[in-house]
Amino acid sequence: MFNVKISLFARTRDLEHTIDRLHDKIIEMTVEFREAVDIYLKEKRSDNYRKTSKKIKTIEHDSDVLRRDIESRLYEQNLIPDLRGNILQLVENLDRVVNLFDEVAHKFYIEQPDVPEVYHEQLKTLVKQVSDCAENMAIASRAFFRDLPTLRDYSQKVYLLEKQSDKTSAKLRKAIFDSDLELARKNQLNVFVHEVADIADLAEDCIDALLIFAIKREI
Amino acid sequence: MFEYLLFLSSGLFLGWSLGANDSANIFGTAVGTKMLKFTTAAIIASVFIVLGAVISGQNTTETLNALGGVNTLPAGFAVSLAAALAVRVMLKSGISVSISQTIVGAIIGWNVYNHQETDSQTLINILSCWVMCPVVSGLIAVSLYLLVKKILHCSKLHILWQDFIVRQGMILTTALGGFALGANNMADVVGVFVGSCAFSDASFGGVINLSGIQVLFLIGAIAVSVGVFTYSKKVISTVGKGVLTFSPVVAWIVILSQSLVLILFSSEGLESFLISIGLPPLPAVPVSSTQAVIGAIVGIGLAKGGKEIRWSLVGKLVCGWVTSPLMAFILSYILLSFMENVFRQPVIAIM
């Protein structure tokens, strides 16, 4: 009986660390993504970009492993039965955000869009807003697990940053279509801007669900 | 002895009903929310029901015997059967039923049938405890709810650790609830057979020595445990749908409050202590675990702002106060009449 308790204690502590590591990965991803776009705008598909892109791929892979580990342990150890479904959905949502970061970074690598210098600052602003939005989503998600009252503060930040990123992306896309670029380039840049902005939208969706789960978690 | 066991069968049937229905109040939410396995919960509850019955079961029996001293075996059989049948009928009609309340109605039925005076002071004590039970349970639940909420807010405990602690808490509460049920409600099951107890003292390996009455309570507790194992799972799955709307933390607070209330109303030591410090005593009276649970749920509902309270529960509770003893009273009167006039059995001992 004592051994069972020790083992349950150790397993709970391990899973707590795994969940924390998943949140760490998201925050790491936001930093790497910003750096990757900065490098791309300066150097295009350089070795430096290749390295950063590889780091992003590794983070995405690691977070996949962590997600699967959390999901299987929650079921195998029959933990948090009342909220298990919600937590699985939350972990899936977080993973979708990580995947989208990876997809966009990879798309830069494959398609090598030629972004005119005049749009660099706006694109960097958009990437910063989107990264901050995802970072706050990760912090809000962490708060869901251990500090429910602060969840609302971070959620509010996510909503504000998503709104700002929408405005920035709309401005940028308008500027692109108002320019004299070829239609094919306009379309390509438009898709890129759209996909970067989608990350913030996905983070916002994640927070919407999280706030519902939080109502259920309140005692 | 055979005759004694035959007449005791109605008490054992009542015990089985108690185990089948009231154990859902002890560990129903723990099993329903999948925090504990049914077998684990049933074993823990049964062991502690037996301990509660044997160690503290006699305290509430004295109150019931003060209300009416059913003193023949056939009368005990009829009174117990009346209570058991009233429980079945009330459960079918969906009204909150308490075995404690039906047995009181049935005992008063015996008093009236035999033209015995009902001790009004004891009756007032019992009736006031029925009202106090959900109120005290509600007060305890609200205090625990606010305390736990504050602790969770300040401690910033990870959800996994909350789950871990609640799980361990539910194991302890199942044990406490089992003990409380055995201590408080065993008088309902075998209390009317105490006056005609045919068991002699027993010793188990020279270590555990039980009086004849404790042996009677042990047998009653075993009947309750059989009810726990054979039928409570079905009751839990039926009533679980309503209970599962709580979070495990709230469910745990509800069970803990209910267990504490049952212990408060079973402890003669506490009664003497409250009198000694000049406070109104909580007499050792069998109370309803179901109504203690309803009191706790309503209390927490009020603490949350009152929007989530299902007032129909309160209606059922008040309705149960009147209808349960009334139905048992009528059935007891009819069965005693049958016992005396059809089966020619004595329903009162001439002193």
What's the CATH code of the domain at A118? Answer: 1.20.58.220
Residue B44 falls within a domain, yes or no? yes
Cα nearest neighbour of B244 on chain A? A82
Q: Which of A8, A144, A219 sits opposite B250 (nearest CB)?
A: A219
The confidence score (pLDDT) of residue A114 equals: 92
Indicate whether B1 pLDDT > 80: no
List of chain A residues whose C-beta atoms are within 8 Å of the C-beta of residue B163: 12, 79-80
Enumerate residues 6+ apart whose C-beta is below 8 A from A94. A22, A23, A26, A63, A67, A137, A138, A141, A206
Task: Select the residue from A13, A74, A80 to test the B interface by mutation, using most B Cβ atoms within 10 A.
Answer: A80
Q: Are A154 and A139 in contact (CB under 8 A)?
A: yes
Residue B210 falls within a domain, yes or no? yes
Q: What is the distance between the alpha carbons of residues A208 and A86, in angstroms, rounded to a whole number?
A: 12
Comparing CA positions, the residue from B267, B326, B273, B321 lying closest to residue B295 is B321
Q: What is the distance between the alpha carbons of residues A82 and A62, in angstroms, rounded to a whole number?
A: 27
Region A70-82: mean pLDDT is 88
Cα nearest neighbour of B251 on chain A? A219
Inter-helix orientation angle B2-32/B99-113, to 10°: 150
Residue B346 falls within a domain, yes or no? no
Q: Which of A78, A80, A81 sits opposite B159 (nearest CB)?
A: A80
Q: Which of A180-194, B193-207, B254-268, B332-346 has the lowest mean pLDDT?
A: B193-207
Inter-helix orientation angle B38-56/B212-243, to 10°: 140
Q: Where are the beta strands (DSSP E) in A26-176?
A: none
Tokens of A45: 């598909």
Q: Supply the DSSP symbol for B308.
A: T
Residue B348 falls within a domain, yes or no? no
Enumerate residues 6+ apart whose C-beta is below 8 A from B176. B48, B256, B259, B260, B263
CB contact, 8 Å: A152 with chain B? no
Domain that holds residue B285: 2-341
Highest mean pLDDT out of A77-86, A98-107, B269-278: A98-107
The confidence score (pLDDT) of residue A176 equals: 95
Indicate whether B48 pLDDT > 50: yes
Indicate whether B239 pLDDT > 60: no
Return mean pLDDT, chain A.
92
The confidence score (pLDDT) of residue A35 equals: 95
Provide the domain count of chain A: 1
CB contact, 8 Å: B153 with chain A? yes
The confidence score (pLDDT) of residue A9 equals: 84
The confidence score (pLDDT) of residue A160 equals: 97
Region A67-94: mean pLDDT is 91
Indicate whether B243 pLDDT > 50: no
Burial label, B186 (beta-carbon count in 10 A; 0-12, 13-18, 19+):
buried
Residue B293 falls within a domain, yes or no? yes
Q: Could you report the per-residue pLDDT of A95-108, keeping only the tens digit for each?
A: 999 999 999 999 99
Indicate whether B244 pLDDT > 50: no
Q: Count Cβ neighbours within 10 Å for each residue of A35-61 and write b for 16 or more, e otherwise.
A: bbbbbbbeeeeeeebeebbebbeebbe
Indicate whether B52 pLDDT > 90: yes
Q: Could you report the per-residue pLDDT of A145-198, keeping only the tens digit for each?
A: 988 889 999 999 999 999 999 999 999 999 999 999 999 999 999 999 999 999
Region A106-118: mean pLDDT is 93
Q: How far away is chain A from the Cα of B315, in angstroms, using its nearest Cα?
A: 25
The confidence score (pLDDT) of residue B205 equals: 80
Comparing CA positions, the residue from B142, B67, B82 lying closest to residue B295 is B142
Q: Do A12 and B35 touch (CB under 8 A)?
A: no
Q: What is the distance between the alpha carbons of residues A213 and A143, in angstroms, rounded to a whole number?
A: 12
Inter-helix orientation angle A183-217/A148-178, to 10°: 170
Provide the domain count of chain B: 1
Q: How far away is chain B from the Cα of A156, in angstroms, using its nearest Cα?
A: 20
List of chain A residues whose C-beta atoms are within 8 Å of the C-beta of residue B156: 146-147
CB contact, 8 Å: B304 with chain A? no
If you search the block for the tokens 């660099």, which residue do you land on?
A120
CB contact, 8 Å: B29 with chain A? no
Q: Which of A8, A148, A218 sits opposite B164 (nearest CB)?
A: A8
Q: Which of A12, A217, A219 sits opposite B149 (nearest CB)?
A: A219
Find residues 163-192 of chain B whose CB sits inside 8 Å of chain A: 163-164
What distances in angstroms separate CA B13 from CA A54, B18, B84, B155, one per listed residue?
72, 9, 7, 48
Domain that holds residue A166: 2-217
CB contact, 8 Å: A14 with chain B? no
CB contact, 8 Å: A180 with chain B? no
The confidence score (pLDDT) of residue A6 equals: 63
Indicate whether B274 pLDDT > 90: no
Q: How far away is chain B from the Cα of A79, in angstroms, using its nearest Cα?
A: 7
Taking one residue from A and the other from B, the number of pairs with CB-CB distance under 8 angstroms is 48
Region B80-93: mean pLDDT is 86
The confidence score (pLDDT) of residue B3 equals: 83
Q: How far away is chain B from the Cα of A96, in angstroms, using its nearest Cα?
A: 23
The confidence score (pLDDT) of residue B5 equals: 85
The confidence score (pLDDT) of residue A5 equals: 60
| % of chain B residues with pLDDT over 90 | 39
Q: When comparing pLDDT for A76 and B109, which is higher?
A: B109
Compute the 3-state secondary structure of chain B and give helix, strand, coil in percent, each to the nearest 5: 75, 0, 20
Phi-psi map region of A138: left, alpha, beta (phi>0 left; psi -120 to 50 alpha): alpha
